[in-house]
Each structure stands twice: as structure tokens, then as C-alpha cells.
Structure 1
Amino acid sequence: MLKNLQLDRPIAFIDIETTGHNPYSGRIVELSILRISPDGSEEYKSHRINPGIPIPEEATAIHGITDADVAEEPPFRQYARGIRDFLEGCDVSGFNVINFDLPCLEAEFARSSVDFSREGRYLIDSMVIFHQREPRNLQAAYLKYCGKEMENAHNAKEDARVSSEILDGQLDMYQDLPRDAAGLCTLCYKVEKSHIDAEGKFIWVENEAVCNFGKHKGRLLKDIAVNYPDYLEWIARSDFPVDVKKMAVKALEGEFPEPPEPLQPTEGEL
């Protein structure tokens, strides 16, 4: 049970083990979610998953899961809708969840043609807090904030449980931290106002969507769609974040993002 975090709605602690370090190209081999409700009740969802591709030896060396371990397991798409429904109405937390677990999960949902969005959710990453205060790893965070040694690192169910205890321990140790999900999200998940997507691959410049990377950096998205559609096609089929790929597909169809309000580019961009 979370003793130090005030919940207005459920929060889901997610941990994922994958075939590789790239969250956009790696495939999930194990997924665990600990859902904690405002009344303190807890519910787990945990699955071994057949990734559909060989698990590299270097990945097995980290989490211990082999091809044989998941050979008879269902693919992610068979779980996708159930996982999406389990996360309905939940804020999201975990250790490195913003830069790894969540993007990986979003990519798997997209491959399964299941709609899922981080919008409207508070994202709380205990690794961000930990690195701001004590730049270490998950095992060190568990020892520091919970006074415990990890017995089964890189087991998704254990790691999800540990990440929930770490966040609770951080809130207990650092009394100046916000006590609510909204405040912690503001601390953990900072997005530049000029960014159209989460990573800033496209940004607003004088209310126009502009490419902010690669050979077309500084070029209007509308111009790219008309004169360089092959570039957007490349983005759509490559290992980019889901929101970037969707933007590329929509631009090819003649649909472009609308700026929420007049914005100026962040200093240093472009």
C-alpha cells in the first residue's frame, strides 16, 4: 500500500522486460502491472509474452528469459485490449517508465492496432526523482529508500513491486516532494511548450509545424508532405515514437496538427 501518495484515481506501476534497449524496436517478453486504487486495494496483471523474434543473448543475460521460456506463450496482440482496459483511468508510474516502459508499451499497442494514449494521465517516474537526488540504479534505490536488498532483479513482477515501494519511500524521505500525482508528474515529465510530440521531433514555429531533426530540419511539415513525401513514409515505417509516426501518416493524408495557442520556439531549437 502507498502510505505517502495521495491518490484521486488508480495508479499503475509498470515494468517490462524486452528483447533490446530500444523501446521502439524492442519486443516485450514479460510485462507486469501493479494497479493501486485510492482505497488501497491492489491488483496485478502479469504475462510472459512471445515476442515473435529471437531474444538476443545479451537480453537474456539481463532478465534471464530465453526463447524456450516464451515459445508457447501468446503474442502481445492477444493481451493488448485487456491490458489497455486494465490501464483505463490510471495514472502511470515505474522506474524509467517515461523513457522506456511506456514508449515500448505504446509501440506494442500500435503494432496490435489498439488505441492507447498517455494523454490525460499523470506520469510519475521514480528514476527521475532518484537521479535528481541520488544518481544510482534500481537496486541501489531499493536499498536506500526501502532498506532492502533485491532478491530477483529483472523479474518484471518483482520490479513492478519494487518500483512502487521506491516511490513510496522517496515520498517518505523527501517531505518537500508533492503528495499528489499531478505535482509529481510536473516534477518528472517536462515537455517543452514548443514541442508537438513528446520528444520534439516536430515543433511549433510561428504557429506552423516544423521538422526539428534530420536532413529536413527547419522545413515546414506541410512542405515535406508535398515535396518530400518519401521522408514521411520513412518515418512511418521506421523505429520512431508512436506519436511521431502517427503525425507523419496524417501529414501524408493532408491532415496537420493545429497549434493550441500562438507559440514561440524554445531558445536553442532550430
Structure 2
Amino acid sequence: MSWHLGRLAGFDTETTGVDVETDRIVTACIVEVGGNTPPLTANWLINPGVDIPEAATAVHGVTTEKAKTEGQPAEEGIAELVAGLTQIVLAGTPLVIMNAPYDLTLLDREARRYGVQPLSEVVGDELHVVDPRVIDKQVDKFRRGKRTLTDLCGHYRVKLDGAHSADADAIAACRVAWRLGQRYPRLADMPVWELHKAQAGWHAEWAEGFEAHLRSKGDADAVIDRSWPLVPQQREGGGE
């Protein structure tokens, strides 16, 4: 059975900002869908231990006060997230993550920050990720326009309720992944481990091309990270 017809697990976070090395997780969701099994959803509201900028609150709606009064301690929440994802990965379920290097790298740095063994170290090569953003760029390279989750939902006719909430985005990413598998038989025919490996190559190829484009436009210092689905930690104590 093709990977897109079986169980899929969506993962998404909302955060204090966009710097994976220093910003913190505020909300997160893991949702399991498909495979002729009822959906399972787990949500987290985490006190990040730092003030949440107004710009971030404007995106996801969580204020510093709300996180402090209703959120669980960050160390506890991050440990639960890693444990939950570990269980899913070791069960053989692919993780669907829109722009995986963002969410997985942020979670990795959060885990290291609180002394939790990172997901990548726990599951190793068992980690299989489906990233709709990477796949869409590969199968429809020359389509104009943005490639945000909202854009992909519009293009693939996927319902998106409550964009920029972790649970809505996680479910929508799974729906887009399913649509991709339905629309492109060559994707559906790939074992998920092969698809995972292919995406790493596709992302590196895109990053190299985009970097060259930026440099041709005058940005001589442009550097686009080739890493996927996780940016490796570059230095001891990274993520502090």
C-alpha cells in the first residue's frame, strides 16, 4: 500500500519567532490521520520562558500572559513532544511537516536547551518525513507564486481552517500530502524511505539553484542551507 493511503502524522509548531537557534515553541500539535483509523490529535500550549513578541502573538494569538498562566513548563512540554514523535516514528508512521527544517530544527534546539535527547538521536534512520513544500517545488517547478501552506491548500483544493494554529496547519499539511500522492503516481509508487531520501536531494538542488539566482541578482553573500529535514547543530551549546 502506498504511503499516502496509510497512517500519516502531521506535526506543526507556532513559536516566538523565526530563528530556529534562539526562538521557542509556544504551541504544537501532533495529529494522526488516515489508514482507516479514527484521527488522534494532541495539542500543547507551552510557557516558553521568554516574552512572546507582539508580532508573533499577532500570528498565533498566544500572549505572554496566556502562556505563563495556562501553558505547561517548557522542559516538560518539549520532553512530551519528543516522546510523542518518537513513538510515532518507531511505529513506522511518516511525519508530514510543512517546511520540515524549520519545525524539526527548532524542536532539536529546544530539546538540547532542556537536556532532552533530540528526536534525531533517538530514532536515527527510522525518521521518514514527507514535506509538502519540498515535494511541490519538485513536481511543479515552474508554477509561479508563493509556496506557503495556505497557497498549497488553495492550489490542491485542500480545506484549511484556522491557518497559523498548529492543529489546523498539521491537518492541512497531511491533506496536501495525500493530494500529492493522489495526483503524482511516481510519488505514490515510492517507498517512504526512498521518498525521504529523494526529498533531501530535491531540497539541496533547489537551494543551490536559488542561491545562484540570488547571487546573479547582486547578493554576493547569499547562502541557502542545503540541509533537510533538519539543520545539524553547528557548535557545542547551539540553541542557547
How does the TM-score come out when normalised to structure 1?
A: 0.64
Q: 1:95 to 1:112 in 2, by over 3 A?
A: same
Query: Which among 132, 154, 159 is matched to residue 126 of structure 1?
Result: 132
Shift of residue 191, structure 1, vs aligned partner: 9.5
Alignment partner of 1:152 is 2:162: yes
Aligned counterpart, 1:111: 113
> Counterpart of 1:26 in 2: which secondary structure?
coil
- Inter-partner Cα distance in structure 1 for 2:32 and 2:236: 29
Aligned counterpart, 1:243: 233
Shift of residue 86, structure 1, vs aligned partner: 1.4
> Counterpart of 1:114 in 2: which secondary structure?
coil
RMSD: 2.8
Query: Which among 72, 75, 78 is matched to residue 76 of structure 2?
Result: 78
> Which segments of 5 or more consecutive residues in structure 2 lack a partner in the other structure?
204-230
- Inter-partner Cα distance in structure 1 for 2:73 and 2:237: 27
Q: 1:22 to 1:161 in 2, by over 3 A?
A: same
- Inter-partner Cα distance in structure 1 for 2:105 and 2:78: 15
Shift of residue 146, structure 1, vs aligned partner: 3.1
- Write the mapping of 1:202-217 to structure 2, written as runs, cut at 5 A: none
- Inter-partner Cα distance in structure 1 for 2:115 and 2:78: 9
Identical-pair percentage: 25
Shift of residue 38, structure 1, vs aligned partner: 5.5
- Write the mapping of 1:248-267 to structure 2, written as runs, cut at 5 A: none
Shift of residue 165, structure 1, vs aligned partner: 0.4
> Which segments of 5 or more consecutive residues in structure 1 lack a partner in the other structure?
193-240, 249-270
2:4 maps to amino acid: L
- Write the mapping of 1:34-183 to structure 2, written as runs, cut at 5 A: 34-36=31-33, 40-72=37-69, 73-89=71-87, 90=89, 91-97=94-100, 99-118=101-120, 119-120=124-125, 121-132=127-138, 133=140, 134=143, 135-148=146-159, 150-179=160-189, 180-183=191-194
- Inter-partner Cα distance in structure 2 for 1:114 and 1:184: 29
Structure of greater Rg: 1
* Runs of 4 or more consecutive aligned structure 1 residues displaced over 6 Å after TM superposition: none
User: Which deviates more from structure 2 when the two are superposed, residues 37-46 or residues 18-27?
Assistant: 37-46
- Inter-partner Cα distance in structure 2 for 1:152 and 1:177: 28
> Counterpart of 1:154 in 2: which secondary structure?
coil
Q: 1:55 to 1:152 in 2, by over 3 A?
A: same
* Equivalent residue pairs, number: 195
Could you say which structure has the greater relative contact order, defined with CA pairs below 8 angstroms and 6 or more residues apart? Answer: 2
Shift of residue 13, structure 1, vs aligned partner: 1.4
1:125 maps to amino acid: D
> Counterpart of 2:193 in 1: which secondary structure?
helix
- Inter-partner Cα distance in structure 2 for 1:37 and 1:112: 33
Aligned counterpart, 1:28: 25
Shift of residue 164, structure 1, vs aligned partner: 0.5
Shift of residue 39, structure 1, vs aligned partner: 6.0
- Inter-partner Cα distance in structure 2 for 1:247 and 1:52: 18
Aligned counterpart, 1:215: none
1:181 maps to amino acid: V
- Inter-partner Cα distance in structure 2 for 1:146 and 1:3: 21
> Counterpart of 1:190 in 2: which secondary structure?
helix
Structure showing the higher helix proportion among its residues: 2
- Inter-partner Cα distance in structure 2 for 1:85 and 1:142: 29
